[in-house]
């Protein structure tokens, strides 16, 4: 619900422009990128579920404050910028811990099924959340969608707090810079890892900027607003669910090769948003892109968790996340001005083309083509 609530809080409640929406979203992404390496080291030092609990509590506080300001009618753009930045810091600590926790909770032979099941649960709630969020924003106000989001973080903190995990064996002489260097050595020594991360630096900047900024703008102008956009995002999540169901049983041997092919379909919804095509066609493309994204995500997480030693997994995930999101704040900040200068349709076509252009060189990497599951 929260992305829909925030988008239409800026566009409708605060009467902001698409450029201002991009800046608000970038305010969250920039601190996330800045602190993600610190989050990875902390997640390898401390019990990962404890890191997740405190991150959830901070996210609950920031989202609850945003909701309160919106519902009271006192929200200002600068407040959303500040609270979004704090929320980004929280996410920087949560992500490496949550990714590193999977091999601690299931046998090594069940990692792919665990990743698929975990994401299946996540994406099922995304279908309901996107659809309900669109209806809720259209019928009431964006503040209520963000208030429910704040409550969800409280529930997440409660559930995560009762986890019991085996201890991670660590060297006594470890220090911050040494740990940072160990993670970097593990990252740069694997061509498949850094090449796909470079791909996603550009892919995420194009896709996230286009979907989160220009998607709601096109929906407001051509499809009727929040309700239609919520339905489109729900279709994307339905594709994610189907992808998760397939990956519960599929056993691809060359997981990275399949994953790279799957990312090409992310260009489809952007290309159809450009004219724009009818909302039903955009929704169908969103479904296909969701399916492809889920295939990639399960293959990627399983490869990471099979190939990277558990004691440094969160640090390597942090480098992965840093590279993958480092250009997202730029994409969010510039896509509004680009659309103002070149037109929304041209900007969306350009974003779709950038996704394809960033993906094709990855097929030239030998490890991507040949690395097999263990």
As a whole number of Å, the CA-based R_g of the chain is 20
Tell me which residue of 256, 350, 245, 226 sits closest to 291, measured CA to CA: 245
343-346 long-range contacts, CB within 8 A, separation 24+: 344/214, 344/217, 344/218, 344/274, 345/274, 345/275, 345/276, 346/274
173 has a pLDDT exceeding 50: no
Give the pLDDT confidence of 350-359 residue by residue, as tens digits: 999 999 999 9
pLDDT at res. 66: 93
Q: State mean pLDDT over 356-368.
A: 96
pLDDT higher than threshold 70 for residue 72: yes
Q: pLDDT by residue (tens digit) across 117-131?
A: 888 888 788 777 777
Q: What is the average pLDDT score of the chain?
A: 89
Long-range contacts of 101-109 (CB under 8 A, 24+ apart): 101/48, 101/49, 101/52, 101/165, 102/301, 102/305, 103/305, 103/310, 103/313, 104/48, 104/165, 104/166, 104/168, 104/310, 105/163, 105/165, 108/306
Q: How many C-beta atoms surround the C-beta of residue 322 within 10 A?
A: 22
Q: What pLDDT does residue 274 have?
A: 94
Q: What is the pLDDT of residue 158?
A: 95
Query: In this model, does residue 160 exceed pLDDT 50?
Result: yes
Closest by Cα among 327, 326, 305 to 317 = 305
Percent of all residues in the chain with a pLDDT value above 90, rounded to a whole number? 48
Q: Tell me what the mean pLDDT of segment 208-230 comes to.
A: 88
Q: What is the mean pLDDT of residues 271-293?
A: 95
pLDDT above 70 coverage of the chain, percent: 98
Q: How confident is the model at residue 13, as a pLDDT?
A: 77
Kindly state the average pLDDT of the residues 316-330: 88
Write out the two tokens for 33: 């990128």
pLDDT higher for 198 or 170? 198
46 pLDDT higher than 80:
yes
196: which 2 tokens?
């796909």
> Domains of the chain (ranges plus CATH)?
2-162+174-370 (1.20.1250.20)
**Structure confidence at residue 248 as a pLDDT band (50, 70, 90):** confident
The structure's pTM equals 0.76
52 and 159 Cβ atoms separated by less than 8 Å: no
pLDDT over 80 (residue 174): no
């Amino acid at each position: 619900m929260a992305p829909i609530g925030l988008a239409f809080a800026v566009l409708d409640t605060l009467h902001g422009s698409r450029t201002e929406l991009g800046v608000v979203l970038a305010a969250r992404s920039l601190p996330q990128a800045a602190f993600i390496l610190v989050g990875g080291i902390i997640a390898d030092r401390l019990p990962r579920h404890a890191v997740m609990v405190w991150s959830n509590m901070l996210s609950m506080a920031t989202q609850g404050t945003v909701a309160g300001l919106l519902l009271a009618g006192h929200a200002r753009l600068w407040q959303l910028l500040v609270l979004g930045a704090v929320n980004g810091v929280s996410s920087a600590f949560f992500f490496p811990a949550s990714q590193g926790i999977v091999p601690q909770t299931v046998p090594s032979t069940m990692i792919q099924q665990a990743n698929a099941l975990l994401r299946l649960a996540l994406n099922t709630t995304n279908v309901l959340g996107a659809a309900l969020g669109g209806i809720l924003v259209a019928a009431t106000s964006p503040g209520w969608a963000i208030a429910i989001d704040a409550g969800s973080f409280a529930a997440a903190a409660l559930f995560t707090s009762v986890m019991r995990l085996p201890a991670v064996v660590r060297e006594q002489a470890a220090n911050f810079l040494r740990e940072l260097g160990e993670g970097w050595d593990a990252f740069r020594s694997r061509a498949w890892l850094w090449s796909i991360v470079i791909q996603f630096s550009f892919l995420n900047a194009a896709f996230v900027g286009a979907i989160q900024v220009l998607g709601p703008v096109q929906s407001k102008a051509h499809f009727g607003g929040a309700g239609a956009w919520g339905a489109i995002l729900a279709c994307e999540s339905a594709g994610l669910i189907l992808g998760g169901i397939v990956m519960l049983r599929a056993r691809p041997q060359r997981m990275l090769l399949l994953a790279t092919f799957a990312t090409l379909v992310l260009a489809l919804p952007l290309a159809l948003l450009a004219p724009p095509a009818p909302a039903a066609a955009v929704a169908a493309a969103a479904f296909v892109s969701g399916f492809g994204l889920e295939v990639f995500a399960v293959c990627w997480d399983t490869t990471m968790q099979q190939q990277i030693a558990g004691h440094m997994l969160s640090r390597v995930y942090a480098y992965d996340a840093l590279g993958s999101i480092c250009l997202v704040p730029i994409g969010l900040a510039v896509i509004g001005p680009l659309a103002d200068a070149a037109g929304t349709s041209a900007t969306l076509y350009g974003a779709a083309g950038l996704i394809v252009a960033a993906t094709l060189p990855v097929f030239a990497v030998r490890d991507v083509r040949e690395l097999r599951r263990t």
